[in-house]
C-alpha cells in the first residue's frame, strides 16, 4: 500500500545559508516549519509537524554529485537534508529515499548554479509505502492497556497530591446548660 508524499530539500550553498530549496505544495504557505524541525541526522529521522509526517535523512554531497569541490566558501562540507512529507504514516525504504535524493540533487545543482537568483521549487508527488497496522494484533491489547492507564493515573494523582490536613482540634469540653446555644471556638 502506498500514499502520496512530496520530496523536500533543505541545504546550504557555497555562499547562502541553510534554507528550503525544494518545498512540498502541501506546505505552500508555511514550508518554513521544515527548517525548524529538520536538522542534522544520523540515519532516517521522523517528525510530525502541523499534522504532516516528515521523514528525512542527511547526505554529504560528493564531488561527483555537483562536479566541483563539495564545500562552501568557508571550507565547510556541503550537506543535504532531504526527505518526504505526507499526510499518511509513510515509511520510505532506502530505495525510496534514494529516489527522493536524486530529485533533491537536481534541485541542488540548479541552486548552486545561481544561488542569489534561486527561488524555492515545488516538488511533484511521489508514491511512498505506508506502514500497515495489524488491527487484530492491537485489539487484544486495548482493554488491559486502558485498565493499566487508569490505574497509573490514580497512582500519579495520589503520589502528587499534598496530604490532607487533619481534622481541626475539638473545642474544649465545658459543662454547659442543655439550653445554651451552640458556639464556635473562640
Partner 1 sequence: MGLVVVVVLVALGVLVVVKGRRRKGQGRAVSGEVPVPRLRVVALGVQGSGKTVLLTGMYRKLQSPGDRGFHLKVPFDQLIELNRWYREVAGSDTGWPAGTTRKDMREFDFGVMTTVGDRAATVFDIGYLEYPGELLTDPDAPGSTAQQQLLAAVPEADALIGIIDGLRVLQAHQGDRRGLSVLHTTLDAMVHCMLTVRAPIAFVITKWDVLDQLHEDENTRLEMVRDLLMEVDGFRDLVTVHSARRVVRLIPVTAVGHDFAVLDGDTVRKRPDGRFQPANVELVLSAVVPDVLQQVELAVDVRTRQAIMAEAQRRLRVGPAEALRTLTAFVAERAAKAVAATAGGFTAAGLALLLESRAEPDPGYQERLSALDEADRWAEEFIQARRRVVRRLQDQVAVFEGRLPASRLRGDAP
What's the 3-state SS for the chain? CEEEEEEEEEECCCCCCCEEEEECHHHCCCCCHHHHHCCCCCCCEEEEECCEEEEEEEEECCHHHHCCCCECCCCCECEEEEEEEECCCECCCHHHHHHHHHHHHHHHHHHHHCCCCCCCEECCCEEEEECCCCHHHHHHHHHHHHHHHHHHHHHHHHHHCCCCCCCCCCCCCCCCCCCCCCCCCC
State the minimum distance, in angstroms, from the CB of residue 79 to partner 1. 5
Q: Min. distance of Cβ 32 from partner 1 in angstroms?
A: 3
CB closer to partner 1, 46 vs 151: 151
Rank residues 74 and 133 by Cβ distance to partner 1 and give the closer one: 74
Give least dist CB 42 to partner 1, A: 11
Q: Which CB atom, from 155 or from 171, has the smaller least distance to partner 1?
A: 155
**Closest approach of partner 1 to the CB of residue 172, in Å:** 31
Which is closer to partner 1, CB of 93 or CB of 122? 122
Amino acid at each position: 500500500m502506498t500514499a502520496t508524499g512530496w520530496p523536500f530539500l533543505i541545504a546550504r550553498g557555497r555562499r547562502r545559508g541553510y534554507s528550503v530549496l525544494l518545498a512540498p505544495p502541501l506546505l505552500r504557505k508555511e514550508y518554513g516549519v521544515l527548517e525548524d524541525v529538520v536538522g542534522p541526522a544520523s540515519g532516517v529521522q521522523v517528525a510530525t509537524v502541523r499534522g504532516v509526517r516528515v521523514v528525512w535523512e542527511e547526505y554529504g554531497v560528493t564531488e561527483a554529485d555537483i562536479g566541483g569541490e563539495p564545500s562552501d566558501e568557508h571550507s565547510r562540507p556541503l550537506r543535504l537534508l532531504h526527505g518526504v512529507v505526507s499526510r499518511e504514516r509513510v515509511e520510505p525504504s532506502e530505495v525510496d529515499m534514494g529516489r527522493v535524493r536524486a530529485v533533491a540533487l537536481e534541485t541542488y545543482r540548479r541552486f548552486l548554479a545561481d544561488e542569489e537568483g534561486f527561488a524555492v521549487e515545488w516538488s511533484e508527488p511521489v508514491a511512498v509505502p505506508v506502514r500497515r497496522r495489524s488491527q487484530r494484533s492491537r485489539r487484544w491489547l486495548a482493554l488491559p492497556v486502558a485498565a493499566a492507564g487508569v490505574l497509573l493515573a490514580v497512582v500519579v494523582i495520589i503520589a502528587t497530591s499534598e496530604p490532607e490536613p487533619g481534622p481541626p482540634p475539638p473545642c474544649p469540653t465545658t459543662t454547659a446548660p442543655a439550653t445554651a446555644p451552640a458556639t464556635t471556638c473562640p
